[in-house]
Amino acid sequence: MYCYHHPDRDAVGTCIACNQAVCPECKVEYDGKVYCNSCVQRMVSGGDTMAPQPASVLMTGNTSGMGSRASVPRELGEWNWGAFLLTWIWGIGNNVWWSFFVFIPYLGVLVMPWVLAFKGNQWAWQSRRWDSVEHFKRVQHTWAMWGLGVTIAVTVLLTVILLLGLGLIVWGLQQSGIQPF
């Protein structure tokens, strides 16, 4: 038996809501029962009364995009450089609207990058649908690379502007007959 969504992968169970076969990536355990990712997503967003909804029930499996009750895979408990460096830009790409707190004067700029770096993986996992942990890691790696690139570019640009400005001041002083050095 193969997964309904991934015909090339072996199924590990069947969703009790739609009877379709699920692979490890599509399987979500909810209240101890096996569902497929799309059924749980529908239950959670549509408020399906058929589904068990106690707040204490924790979903496991590929629970990405299912909000705060989704459990975050253990291997994602790491520092998110993309979120740290790109903050709100990363937030737009990952549906993490908390990132806009970075616009709070002073406090936002000082605190939010650290919060995002620590909580970024959790929030991004819970608020967006990802194919798998590997998919998530791959995309976050790209974000980190972009963050690094942008940071380096901005640093170089600021240094050039600073040096140009200093040069202009020295030149101006020399023109008016003052020797600064």
> What is the 8-class DSSP label of residue 78?
S
CB of 51 to Zn ion, least distance (A): 11
Binding segment for Zn ion (CB under 5 A), chosen from 14-22, 48-56, 66-74, 144-152, is 14-22
118 in helix, strand or coil? Answer: helix
Q: What phi and psi values does residue 30 have, to the nearest 5 degrees?
A: -135, 120
Contacts 24+ apart (CB under 8 A), 42-45: 43/17, 44/69
Residue 28 touches Zn ion, criterion: CB under 5 A: no
CA atoms within 13 A on the CB side of 4: 15
Specify the amino acid at residue 176. Answer: S
Specify the amino acid at residue 148. Answer: L
Q: How many residues of this chain bind Zn ion (CB under 5 A)?
A: 11
- A 10 A CB-CB count for 159 gives 10
Residue closer to Zn ion by CB (options 119, 131) is 131
x/- string (CB under 5 A) for Zn ion, residues 31-70? -----x--x-------------------------------
CB of 39 to Zn ion, least distance (A): 3
CB of 20 to Zn ion, least distance (A): 5
Q: Footprint of Zn ion on this chain (CB under 5 A)?
A: 3, 5-6, 15, 17-18, 23, 25-26, 36, 39
